[in-house]
Amino acid sequence: MLEVILLLLGFALLTKSADWLIRGAETLAERYNLSQNFIGLTIVAIGTSAPELAVSLFSIEKGSEALSVGNILGSNLANLLLILGIVVLAKRIHVKKPTFNIGLPLNLLVSLLVALLVGGTYSITRTPHALTRLDGILLLCTLPLYLYFAFSVYRGENPEHQVTRRKLLMSYGSIAIGIIGLAISGDWIVISAKSIASTFNISEHLIGLTIVALGTNLPELATTITGLVRKKHDLVVGNLIGSSLFNMIFILGFTALLHDLPFDEHQFIDLVAVGLSSVLIFIIVLFSRDKILQRIHGFILVGVYAAYQAFRISQG
């Protein structure tokens, strides 16, 4: 019971800390006259991925590599299927051309790259069934692809921002508090998740894929709902795709840089599922009218997510 309480407190602090970090980073970005839409796809997408980074780093520090991998893959599945599906159930969403032409294919290509590296055949170190430090460096080298995606979506905008000195100073404090909060909450979540996995004899990877992934995705859900309320519907899909790309490129790459990440058969299946999620969305958008996601598409995405999680839980 104490572990469950600690896990819930960790999620609450994690979500609030990510919000502080995002707000502070947004103000800094405005200070340098970056467009709101570009901020949404870069600063916000990266900020909402900060919980995954915190949990992954503490998982590595405590020797729980499986929890780290499960959290990253589970977060991407939740982004692409669950959260996007819930959003589409609430509101029809138009998918911008760069998101369709660049973002979704990049998600698939990065997933394919990770699969090849894990397989060992194309790994720099020829180490099968693991992401090594050198593989992590290779993933980090693809980060410019993510930035290219962001610039492609929102180039040509002419932002005008006025940021007062007081607001700028407050943003630094918000960023500092957010980082500290992420560190504390990440530690709590990893400790409680390890304990729950041990108590119920569940694999740490499965805990990371389900419970922890859903908890660390709360910031993505919050910012997505905010985007809908502010009627920035065209940003929703881009932000979720951007967050998923950042998870695979930076968080998985940086974590592998710090420590080799072993992949077993179940983890490899989850990795394939992430890639197929991008394929599913691409096909849905391809055959939709005017590239608009309808409510029926939301049912499909949420249904696929629920079915896959049920399958994984049944596998133990």
Per-residue exposure over 74-94, b if at least 16 CB sit within 10 Å of its own CB, e if not? bbbbbbbbbbbbbbbbeeebb
Residue 58 has pLDDT above 60, yes or no: yes
* First-to-final CA distance of the chain: 22
Q: Mind listing the pLDDT tens digit for each residue in 119-162?
A: 754 444 445 578 888 999 999 998 888 777 777 665 555 555 66
Per-residue exposure over 243-264, b if at least 16 CB sit within 10 Å of its own CB, e if not? bbbbbbbbbbbbbbbebbbebe
**Number of CB atoms found within 10 A of residue 115's CB:** 16
Confidence of residue 300 (pLDDT cuts 50, 70, 90): very high
Beta bridge partners of 292: 94
Q: Mind listing the pLDDT tens digit for each residue in 180-190?
A: 888 788 788 88
Q: Are 193 and 40 in contact (CB under 8 A)?
A: no
Give the mean pLDDT of 26-36. Answer: 70
pTM: 0.84
**Number of CB atoms found within 10 A of residue 158's CB:** 6
Q: Mind listing the pLDDT tens digit for each residue in 228-281?
A: 776 666 567 777 888 888 899 999 999 999 988 888 888 888 999 999 999 999
Confidence of residue 23 (pLDDT cuts 50, 70, 90): confident
Query: CA geometry: angle at 74 spanning 316 and 283, to 5°?
Result: 110
Q: Mind listing the pLDDT tens digit for each residue in 198-210?
A: 787 888 888 888 8
Residue 17 has pLDDT above 60, yes or no: yes
Residue type, 108: L
What domains are there in the chain, each with its CATH number? Answer: 2-315 (1.20.1420.30)
